Amino acid sequence: MSVTDKVKALLSIKGNKNIELAQYLGITPQSLQNKFNRGSFSAEDLIKIADFLSCSLEFSIDDKQKIVLSMEDIRE
């Protein structure tokens, strides 16, 4: 499953619409659609998407070792 498919699935599960996500990201719905079509999400995009959907974005080595990315990791 591609990143685009996973983001779309999370939007569906959480009951959010693409236009809401685009507004949260500060981009137009067309720009978001372009990201979906190209699968061109940056790490910053994914962190913001996780925040918008109240999800965690993490690297998991096993049940005991995880590194979670959050809004605090975005450069200003």
Ordered structural domains, the chain, with CATH: 3-73 (1.10.260)
Token pair 């809004």 in the structure block, residue? 71
The pTM score is 0.88
- pLDDT tens-place string over residues 15-42: 999 999 999 999 999 999 999 999 999 9
CA distances from 62 to 58, 59, 65, 66, 67 (A): 11, 9, 5, 7, 11
pLDDT of residue 64: 87
Q: What percent of the chain has pLDDT over 70?
A: 100
